Amino acid sequence: MNNIVAIVGRPNVGKSTFFNRLIQRREAIVDSVSGVTRDRNYGKSEWNGKEFSVIDTGGYVKGSDDIFEGEIRRQVELAIDEADAIIFVVDVEEGITPMDEEVAKLLRKVTKPILLAVNKVDNAMREKDAIEFYNLGLGEYFTIAGMNGSGTGELLDALVEALPEMPDAVEEENPLPRFCVVGRPNAGKSSFINALIGEDRFVVTDIAGTTRDAIDTKYNRFGFEFNLVDTAGIRRKAKVKEDLEFYSVMRSVRAIEHSDVCILMIDATRGFEGQDQSIFWLAEKNRKGIVILVNKWDLVEKDTMSTRDYEAKIREELQPFTDVPILFVSALTKQRLLKALETAVEVFENRKQRISTSKFNETMLPIIERTPPPALKGKYVKIKYCMQLPTPTPQFVFFANLPQYVKDPYKRFIENQLRQIYNFTGVPIDIYFRQK
């Protein structure tokens, strides 16, 4: 399991530039959907062999200057609660501002690793100017230039040194599938879990993960056995405003990374909102199985919107990854909850299926022959062989003479064919073209 590192600070100090620098090498790999600029506030980074998740709080602050202060204070409080380490970014050009002092005041009370990064230090003159940041009372600082990356190495060395050791996941013989229930506040996650577990709890164990982690409940009913990772009940801080988008995403990161299938609950009366999308793309980016449950369907005026229209609307938002099960449920009346479980189990099975190389070639090569990649600059791409890679999530590689000429539309065509023939509903898949 990864540590979570939050980047905090007031607007325009260069948090996002620094964040992009941290995740850039990985981002090219992690984000295989071209042109998806969604949710650039979360990514994975690795330094000295240690992998961690990074959250840039900057992208979540919206509003005018007078709203900013309250928002930033809330985000810093949340980051203090949820992250394993915090990087506080300040700007050498502007020096210490009252808002920096506010943030520092919050951070001084914290026992977690806090790293102070003085940004925009790109010459010796500014190195001298940085000395004033000792006045924030956070001890040593690191001078960096987010734009050209100077100084980030020392900062990252100190960061990975300071990160707490995460417990290694114990490899079990037949590990139970892990399903996590995620969604924005008040979507009905708790009611869903309570309805599933019921009063006659079939709970074998309540294992708390890491200290303030989602709780794992072993679930064994109706012929299903799995671990339920509940994000609903993670300590809710009264002072964190419920509607804060950042809050839902931050809460979900750990649970999603730690699960096989994400059950995303959305509130039918509110529709599929930006926050739901953020959580969806978080699961997609982590290559998890996904099931969407539209909860409180019993409260929606049916004459205004049928399930078909509602579903079509959601799928439009999910483009290009639309092969996802969407179920209409009610946690209150327990409507279709068993179906929801069955679907999650199916998605789990889809995600771990393996296709033999001979069978895969037999199926895919004739399709490719009938519809080869379009020629580019008079060059014809020939694909002679394909296989599924031995990875935990479905990845396929096609060997071609000119892989660089295979463009995204053709990759999508191959993915659609694959999905039509094999059942990968609810599962993100990766397709690569390589030199043979």
Q: Is 105 annotated as a binding residue?
A: no
Quote the CA–CA distance of 296 and 270 in Å, as a whole number: 10
Q: Is 16 annotated as a binding residue?
A: yes
pLDDT value at residue 123: 83
Q: Is 79 annotated as a binding residue?
A: no
Q: Give the N- to C-terminal CA distance of the chain in Å, as an integer.
A: 35
Q: Is 352 annotated as a binding residue?
A: no
Question: Which residues are CB-contacts of 126 (< 8 A; sequence separation ≥ 6)?
Answer: 92, 93, 120, 143
Quote the CA–CA distance of 43 and 409 in Å, as a whole number: 25
Q: Is 14 annotated as a binding residue?
A: yes
| Bridge partner list, 227 | 178, 218
Identify whether the C-beta of residue 185 lies closer than 8 Å to the C-beta of residue 248: yes
Q: Is 35 annotated as a binding residue?
A: no
Q: What is the pTM of this model?
A: 0.72
46: amino acid identity, one letter: E
Q: Is 60 annotated as a binding residue?
A: yes
Q: Is 162 annotated as a binding residue?
A: no
pLDDT value at residue 65: 54
DSSP 205: -
103: amino acid identity, one letter: V
Q: Is 255 annotated as a binding residue?
A: no
Domains of the chain: 3-162 (3.40.50.300), 178-349 (3.40.50.300), 357-435 (3.30.300.20)
Q: Is 334 annotated as a binding residue?
A: no
pLDDT value at residue 164: 84
pLDDT value at residue 31: 36
Q: Compute CA distances 300 → 274, 303, 328, 333, 372, whole Å.
A: 20, 9, 11, 14, 47
Q: Is 409 exposed, middle or buried (0-12, 13-18, 19+ CB in 10 A)?
A: exposed
Q: Is 231 annotated as a binding residue?
A: yes
Please name the residue that has the structure tokens 């959580």.
279
Q: Is 32 annotated as a binding residue?
A: no
Q: Is 119 annotated as a binding residue?
A: yes
Q: Is 189 annotated as a binding residue?
A: yes
Q: Is 234 annotated as a binding residue?
A: yes
Q: Is 59 annotated as a binding residue?
A: yes
Q: Is 297 annotated as a binding residue?
A: yes
pLDDT value at residue 214: 53
Q: Is 232 annotated as a binding residue?
A: yes
pLDDT value at residue 169: 53
Q: Is 10 annotated as a binding residue?
A: yes
Per-run averaged pLDDT (10 residues), the chain, 436 residues: 85 83 55 38 83 76 58 77 90 90 90 92 86 90 86 92 74 73 82 72 38 61 79 51 59 83 92 84 90 89 77 89 92 87 93 93 93 87 92 92 89 93 93 88
Quote the CA–CA distance of 419 and 171 in Å, as a whole number: 30
Main-chain phi, psi angles of 115, to 5 degrees: -115, 125
Q: Is 15 annotated as a binding residue?
A: yes
